[in-house]
Amino acid sequence: MRILQTLLLLYLRRYPNRLRLSQFNFLSQYAWLKTALVELKPALFPTPDEEKPPPEEETPEPPSDEVIQILASEIQGRRGRYRVDRWRSRRGHGYLFEGIQSGTDQPVVIKEYLLNPRFFNEQELRYRQDTFENVAGLTLADGRIQDLRVICPLEAIADTRSSRRCYLITDGRDASLTLGQQLKKVGALSSEVVRQLLLQLLQVLELLHQQKFRLPSGQTQLGISHGNLSLDSILWVEYGDEPYLYLTDMALWEQLFESPSNVAANTAANTMANTAASSVTNASTAPLPSASGPVPHSIRSSGSGSGSGSGSGAIASPTANYQADLAAVGHIGLALLMGTPDHGADPRDEEIWHFVPPQLKTALRQLMGIMPPFVSATEARQALLAIPASPPGLLSPDLISDAESQQQRRWRWLVALLLLVGLGFLVSVLWNVLKQSPSTARSQSLRPCCLADIDAVPAGQFIYTAVDDGSWAYLLEQDNLGRRGGTLVDHLRRAYPNMDLVYQPSSSIEAAIAHVQARTVDFAIIPHINPLPFDLNRQPIAYDGLAVFVAFSYARRNQGLPTALDGKLTLDDVQKLYRGTVTNWQELGGVRLPVQLYTPTSPEAIVIFEQMVLEGLPLEEWGPVITQPSNLQSQPSNLQSQPSNLQQANTIDMLRAIIRDFERPRAEGPIGGIGFSPLSQIFGQCSIYPLAIDTDQDEETAIQPLVLKTGEAIQPSTDLCDRKGTYHPDISVFQTGTYPLSYPLVIIFPRDNSLPPIGEKFVEAMTTVEGQTLLNEGGFVPLEVIDESIVIRSSSDE
């Protein structure tokens, strides 16, 4: 034992203190060394843990008077007013303050940026303010709401009174500890903990690099790099006992506040990162960025020739620098293993990697570009997933007690769950409540309550359009909306007596878009199923989706199509039906019934069906040219015959015809009708059953758009007539787009600041809690679950 201890002491003392702890943790995983290491610990780490003074709380350096002059003031933005309550710290190029959104009392984080007038003239300052408002924000281009684990700004505000100041409004998570601050608290992390944290980072980067995003300016971009990744731009956010890493301070807007000299330096670093990715030989000799020194986007000259130089820079080319993001992840991983960002270790030095499992070492060096680099975040994440989990003994001493207490908590929870196994129903309800992402819950709480809460609504007459006989036209006909009843127009008139909205229908979605571009209308309300012209802004206000349905007769449900089809069809099945290659339901595993196809009269619904189901081909090209069957001549006279075996009618007549077909006397022979319509127009109609739709042929992942209050999807055995009010659209499958026939309903308006902001204000009105409630009562799916605890004030109550 004495010889072993001597050898261990000599070996570990070769390392400086910053590396000794990590190597000590690595050796501690071996049981035959543990006893000797415990006895050596006082000699290796002279100050006993119990004698260490408690770590002092890091006190941020107080800011200057110029920074804190916004304390106790209110900042006016487009989405509301924000009161600045308390200064927190400096992070990146800005200063963090705690604040409250006035009117809702919801906590927000306000980040103040100060542009330096020594580097920019007045024109350049204003240019950067404008650019800040146009780029500081990130939403998915298709309108889906998804927790990307990126802190997305709620609003970017340029101070109109000072060309130096800009403000970024974010939710409360932006005040969380950074990963660098957490590292100072706990010290070096084990290889397995580092692997798990890097998997989180790469998952976020995978989404950023692959998804299509829309900036506040309306510009869309396929894939975007973070560009400013470091221990200080990653937040440690805890939900229960689980930590999640969130990215913040993206280079897209942080770069605007750098000095020109820093921009030039970062541009050079950016070039080095790209060179490292393309040439491993060069990378092995070039200096590498550190975990605390990110490689951000550059700002290129606008090239106007006006003498503004690089200071008036525009956003860099949309070609994203993904390799710089991956290199930053590699250096962050090394810093977590070392326990400090200032470790000074050279990742090319083989000596520093002795305590790291070989596969993790290889992955980190590939991320850094020292070895042949990964081509994408996806490839890097797959490589980390393939690494076997390391033993838990690699945690630093500061984390071991936490891990043990977590293990004990898990055992207690396991026993509790075994005792409560009979309460599965309650667990399922809780799951459906908790499965909503934290960002969704927070973003709803920031919505204004009522239509009357929207300020600065322009006065005068404004013309808007939507497709004739479409979903919006159907909503306008509903006359029992809201607590006091009435149409949507009635509610808008009470809230905004000086605003006169005139509805002017269009013949198609394309015509509505053309009217907005020609400025013959102020805005349009359309389903968003195709890319929009660049000169138009788009904002979602609700969701809708096509429902494909068959007859539902509860009395004859055992012989009905919903039961025979197990309540679902694939998109390929729907194509075959409307193409005419399937003429009897028995061919799809259903009962022996002839097929009758129905289509609505709405041109909007038909175009959506052609795009989402028929792959863009006109409905007539898919349908068989068949003479009108004689057994359908008893249908209403307003049914219009298509030049094929398609029967066309308005939605109500179509529903009646489908149920009548199925309930025909046996002597005449029942018919199995199928139709489609926007869900907003058939929800609550219990004579038909909306089928779950699957994009795969196996039908194992079919998505049903309607769920019961318990969160379970409706089934063919559900009595839709008897259980009215107990089921509703599943908001989550519309938010995520997992229901294949879902789409957002959007407001489009010109991208022109010289026009009255009626389009923006109508969006704000429709996304209040009251606006979402009215849209929901009219049949649309709200953007989020509506908080029923909020009391909606009527305009006449004030």
Structural domain boundaries in the chain: 2-50, 78-394, 404-443, 451-526+750-797, 544-743
Question: pLDDT at position 423, please?
Answer: 41
User: Would you say how long the chain is, in residues?
Assistant: 798
Q: What is the end-to-end Cα distance of the chain in Å, rounded?
A: 84
Average pLDDT on 462-488 reads 94
Confidence at residue 683, expressed as pLDDT on a 0 to 100 scale: 85
Strand 727-729 to strand 706-708: parallel, antiparallel, or no bridges (unpaired)?
Answer: antiparallel
Contacts of 384 (CB under 8 A, 6+ apart): 195, 198, 199, 202, 360, 363
Q: Which helix (H) or strand (E) holds 728?
A: strand 727-729
- CATH number belonging to the domain at 78-394, selected among 3.30.420.10, 3.40.50.620, 3.10.50.40, 1.10.510.10: 1.10.510.10
CA distance 314 to 739: 39
| Contact yes or no for 464/502 (Cβ under 8 A) | yes
**CA atoms of 750 and 376, how far apart (whole Å):** 37
Q: What is the pLDDT of residue 48?
A: 43
Is 451-526+750-797's fold the same as 544-743's? yes
Q: Tell me the per-residue pLDDT of 305-326, one tens digit each, with 9 for 90 and over.
A: 333 333 333 334 333 578 999 9
Alpha carbons 193 and 367: distance in angstroms, whole number: 18
- How sure is the predictor about 677, in pLDDT bands with cuts at 50, 70 and 90? very high
The Cα angle at residue 307 between residues 301 and 311, in degrees rounded to 5:
45
Whether 700 shows a pLDDT value over 80: the answer reads no
Going by the DSSP 8-state scheme, the letter that residue 288 receives in this structure is -
Neighbouring C-alpha atoms within 13 Å toward the C-beta of 461: 4
pLDDT at position 302: 32
Choose the weakest-confidence range: 4-13, 148-157, 771-780. 4-13
Which residue did the predictor score with more confidence, 456 or 23? 456
Question: How much is the pLDDT for 47?
Answer: 54
Looking only at the bridges linking them, the beta strands covering 81-91 and 536-551 are unpaired
Cα(49)–Cα(297) distance, integer angstroms = 44
Q: How far apart are CA 731 and CA 781, in angstroms?
A: 7
Structure tokens at 289: 């960025």
In the predicted model, is pLDDT for residue 96 greater than 80? yes
**CATH 3.40.190 assigned to 451-526+750-797:** yes
Query: CATH number of 544-743: 3.10.350.10, 3.30.420.40, 3.40.190.10, 2.60.40.1180?
Result: 3.40.190.10
Report the run of H or E that residue 547 belongs to, with start and end.
Answer: strand 536-551
| pLDDT tens profile 394-431 | 333 334 344 334 444 443 444 344 445 444 433 343 33
Q: Give the tens place of pLDDT for each residue, 704-745.
A: 999 998 889 999 988 888 766 788 999 999 998 899 999 999
**Percent of the chain having pLDDT more than 70?**
74
Q: What is the pTM of this model?
A: 0.48
Give every CB contact of residue 764 below 8 A, 6+ residues apart in sequence: 78, 79, 448, 454
Rounded to whole angstroms, the Cα distance separating 532 from 603 reads: 19
